[in-house]
């Protein structure tokens, strides 16, 4: 065969393979993200034991089950099994939400108690996020009070969130049950989340959820929240 014929054959093969390569690429397995700090770095507010169990056991389980569920979903999709696809939606929502929520949660926290905090020495820092907080809630203290109240009031297990309503350009507080992801269920872009599943605090705070929520404010990474707000505002 001539060189041109062989080149043409290779191109046709690559063109044929491309869709399959795309499918394989889109099915990369999810992985448990590393924490940006040690398990004991958030003490005394969250114990090392809680952090280790929360990250290496609970979050890892969501990741593992999400991968298993996605494999089953792909099989059902390939078979044209709509009933099977529908049956897997709850598992996708729960485990996918668990992975999304925790991935945000770890970066929302910081071991630096004063660094990056908006109330260091009792003064709010300047910046777009702080201006938005004052515009939408009146003050940082009012945001803290409203978000704490909404988070403590979650019935059973769930999350309290500070989110951004892109359509209206406003900050909003919301609560989500179980592992329902904020954006996927409300449309709000997540900025700051507080996990109030008992595995996030029970070993240290027992059933006193308000004390845990109060402690969380000491370790919020406001640089991370501010970056999320900046990206969401574009």
As annotated, the binding site for Mn(2+) includes: 54, 102, 195, 199
Q: Got the DSSP string for 48-100? A: HHHHHHIIIIIIHHHHHHHHHHHHHHHHHHHHT-HHHHHHTHHHHHHHHHHHH
DSSP state of 198: G
Report how far residue 199's alpha carbon sits from residue 41's, in angstroms, rounded to the nearest whole number.
Answer: 18
How is residue 59 written in tokens?
């979050």
Instruction: Tell the residue number behind the tokens 């770890």, with chain if given.
Output: 106
Report how far residue 8's alpha carbon sits from residue 3's, in angstroms, rounded to the nearest whole number.
Answer: 9
How far is the CA of 38 from the CAs of 43, 104, 115, in angstroms? 10, 17, 17
**Which residues carry a binding-site annotation?**
54, 102, 195, 199
> Which of 82, 87, 68, 83 is CA-nearest to residue 27?
68
Q: Got the DSSP string for 117-163? A: -TTGGG----SHHHHHHHHHHSSHHHHHHHHHHHHHT--SSEEEEEE
138: left (phi over 0), alpha (psi -120 to 50) or beta: left
């Amino acid at each position: 065969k001539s060189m041109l014929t062989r080149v043409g054959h290779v191109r046709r093969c690559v063109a044929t393979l491309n869709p399959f390569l795309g499918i394989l690429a889109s099915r990369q397995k999810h992985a448990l993200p590393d924490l940006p700090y040690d398990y004991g770095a958030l003490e005394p507010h969250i114990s090392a034991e809680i952090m280790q169990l929360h990250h290496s056991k609970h979050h890892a389980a969501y990741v593992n089950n999400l991968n298993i569920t996605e494999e089953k979903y792909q099989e059902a999709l390939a078979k044209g099994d709509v009933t099977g696809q529908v049956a897997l939606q709850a598992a996708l929502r729960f485990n996918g939400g668990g992975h999304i929520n925790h991935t945000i949660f770890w970066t929302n926290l910081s071991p630096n108690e004063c660094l990056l905090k908006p109330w260091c020495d009792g003064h709010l820092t300047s910046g777009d996020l702080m201006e938005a907080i004052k515009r939408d809630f009146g003050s940082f203290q009012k945001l803290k009070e409203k978000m704490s109240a909404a988070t403590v009031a979650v019935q059973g297990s769930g999350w309290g969130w500070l989110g951004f309503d892109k359509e209206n350009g406003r900050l909003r507080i919301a609560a989500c049950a179980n592992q329902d992801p904020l954006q996927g269920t409300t449309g709000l872009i997540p900025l700051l989340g507080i996990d109030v599943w008992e595995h996030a605090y029970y070993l240290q705070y027992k059933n006193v959820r308000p004390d845990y929520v109060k402690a969380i404010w000491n370790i919020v990474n406001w640089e991370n929240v501010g970056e999320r707000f900046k990206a969401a505002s574009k």
